[in-house]
Amino acid sequence: MQFEPRDQFEQRQKKLEQIQQLGFDPFPREFRWTHTPPELVHAYSQSSAPELEANRRDVRVAGRIVSLRLMGKAGFAHLQGSGGRIQIYVKKDVVGEKGFELFHLLDLGDSVGVRGHLFRTRTNELSIFVEELSLLSKALLPLPEKWHGLTDVELRYRQRYLDLIANDASRQVFATRARIIQELRKFFDARGYIEVETPMMHPIPGGATARPFVTHHNTLDMDLYLRIAPELYLKRLTVGGFDRVYEINRNFRNEGISTQHNPEFTMLEFYEAYSNYRDLMDLNENLFALLATNITGSTTVKYGEYELDFAKFERLSMREAIIKYWPAQLQPVPALSEFSLPDDPAAIARRYNAWAKTAGAPYAAAKGNLTPGEWTGLLFETIAEDKLIQPTILFDFPIDISPLSKQKADDPSLVERFEIYVAGMEIANGFSELNDPAEQERRFLAQIAEGGDESPKRLDVDYIQALCYGMPPTAGEGIGIDRLTMLLTDSKSIRDVILFPLLRPELPESQSDPPAADPSGKA
């Protein structure tokens, strides 16, 4: 075992041995504490020095040493734990010869426990007057610099534990993420939903259009796919009579990595029988306003340069969004009716692209031949998506890009589907679920016929069979938890809200070298 910086690592190991020689266990098994550091700071913030002296408070506190000021026969340190820190004062007279020797052998980063009583220093800082000091765990490697913390983003992701120790803001993000998930559970539990867990390994990947990760089960000798979405299993449960179900769990998509994409990401999916997509739109407006208020204290949330207002959602059809954000320099603006004839979306795209080339605007680049609905979707992504900053419900999707949604009664080229966009990001996707097994089979077969990496290879007969037993009219939705957390924590990269985002592994050479004889002659 040998890590950089070698000199400090060895120095700390030497101290560890000295601590053992004093008779202390450098890695004891437990410490009984009465308060966390932030609990004390909060509970006694108003207690004056005379009050604390008159009414002695005995406490036992554990934490990591994050600052250390030694002065001859006394010293101060700050203990950090549970997201707060408190100062301790250690005096040789009080802790004794051995206790003070231990204090001198401590380093920044060590975990310690103290027993003592509260007092205030001359500068009025609430502190613990230590009567007994225990080492709880020796840190053999030094912490990042105390003043600037850890700023190297690569190190923050690779060694998240250091980021969490050094950067309180990072700790806060993940604490907030946990509260968001708690709030979501409360919201759905209160509405009579039950939480379920469905398979992460699927024999046929389904429920989304994405390239899956493949793995293999040896005993059954079968390939399995890490799920790209839980959708088809959750809908089997609505067939089974779970009329309101939700699941919060990971999805896996074998695709690119960006500030908005991680190959594994967390999704909330929920299904509600006897409701349609309009009901879910209303539910979302309530949910987002409530979440924003409970998490940030207000329905208006700062995100980068924007003030997002979750109290009001704009509702736009996909076609309306394209028209609304159609470039002003390119006239005439297409009319709504121009999207309905089979050849027209492609024609609109051609006209847009011809202009985009000369204007240097984003290009609606199609891979292969697109159907009219695919053209409409592509036009939306190219022209409008990144303009949807304020919370927006985008609805009326083309059927061609919505294989699991129910058609609109008055226009079978469209489906009862919506997505929620905030800060130019897709946050949620919901629809009235297609529950006609014959129509679902036709759509699956069309997908398979189209081929490609992102299409299913086999018909999910089992799912069609489930629909044949009758699925009630149902509305369902998925909400991306990572992106939602980004919005509510003002984070601009998904990696800042995922504890351990996927990174390319470091070159192994640096740490696998056996320690050789030192050729430099130093030592």
Partner RNA sequence: GGACCGGUAGCUCAAUGGUAGAGCAGCUGACUCUUAAUCAGCGGGUUGCAGGUUCGAGUCCUGCCCGGUCCA
Instruction: Compare residues 123 and 331 and give the one whose CB is closer to RNA.
Output: 123
- Interface pattern 488-507 for RNA (x via CB under 7 A): ----xx-x-------xx-xx
Stretch that binds RNA, among 255-263, 400-408, 430-438, 447-455 (CB under 7 A): 255-263
At 66, which amino acid appears?
V
Which residue of 4, 189, 197, 439 would you call a contact of RNA, by CB under 7 A?
4
- CA 376 remoteness from chain centre: 31
Q: Is 45 in the site for RNA (CB under 7 A)?
A: no
Q: What is the DSSP letter of 405?
A: B
Which residue of 82, 87, 293, 340 would you call a contact of RNA, by CB under 7 A?
87
Q: Is 147 in the site for RNA (CB under 7 A)?
A: yes
* Smallest separation (angstroms) from RNA to the CB of 278: 32
Binding to RNA in span 57-86, by CB under 7 A: 67-74, 76
Instruction: Compare residues 245 and 401 and give the one whose CB is closer to RNA.
Output: 401
Q: Would you call 410 exposed, middle or buried from its count of C-beta atoms within 10 A (0-12, 13-18, 19+)? A: exposed
Which residue of 26, 38, 96, 149 would you call a contact of RNA, by CB under 7 A?
149
* Smallest separation (angstroms) from RNA to the CB of 464: 35
Q: Is 108 in the site for RNA (CB under 7 A)?
A: yes
**Block residue for tokens 């629909």:** 467
Instruction: Compare residues 74 and 459 and give the one whose CB is closer to RNA.
Output: 74
* Smallest separation (angstroms) from RNA to the CB of 37: 13
Which residue of 44, 89, 187, 188 would you call a contact of RNA, by CB under 7 A?
89
Closest CA to 453 of 367, 374, 373: 367
Q: Is 365 in the site for RNA (CB under 7 A)?
A: yes
Stretch that binds RNA, among 243-251, 288-296, 358-366, 394-402 (CB under 7 A): 358-366
The contacts found for 76-79 with CB under 8 angstroms, 24 or more apart, are: 76/127, 77/106, 79/37, 79/112, 79/114
What's the alpha-carbon Rg for the chain, to the nearest Å?
Answer: 30
Instruction: Compare residues 91 and 179 and give the one whose CB is closer to RNA.
Output: 91
Closest CA to 322 of 280, 351, 293, 300: 351
Helix, strand, or coil (residue 93): helix
d(CA 455, CA 438): 19
Binding to RNA in span 288-317, by CB under 7 A: none
Judge if the upstream peptide bond of residue 230 is cis by omega within 30 degrees of 0: no
Q: How many other C-beta atoms are found inside a 10 Å radius of the C-beta of residue 447? A: 18
What tokens appear for 195 in the block?
A: 């939480």
Instruction: Show Cβ contacts of residue 330 under 8 Å, excluding neighbours closer than 6 positions.
Output: 351, 352, 355, 359
* Smallest separation (angstroms) from RNA to the CB of 332: 24
* Smallest separation (angstroms) from RNA to the CB of 106: 9
Q: Is 522 in the site for RNA (CB under 7 A)?
A: yes
Q: Is 259 in the site for RNA (CB under 7 A)?
A: yes
| DSSP β-bridge partners for residue 266 | 250
Judge if the upstream peptide bond of residue 332 is cis by omega within 30 degrees of 0: yes
Binding to RNA in span 328-347, by CB under 7 A: none
Judge if the upstream peptide bond of residue 472 is cis by omega within 30 degrees of 0: no
Q: How many other C-beta atoms are found inside a 10 Å radius of the C-beta of residue 434? A: 22
Instruction: Compare residues 184 and 364 and give the one whose CB is closer to RNA.
Output: 364
Query: Which positions lie near RNA, rule CB under 7 A?
Result: 4-5, 7-8, 11, 15, 67-74, 76, 87, 89, 91-93, 107-108, 119, 121-125, 127, 142, 144-155, 157, 256, 258-259, 362-363, 365, 386, 492-493, 495, 503-504, 506-507, 520, 522
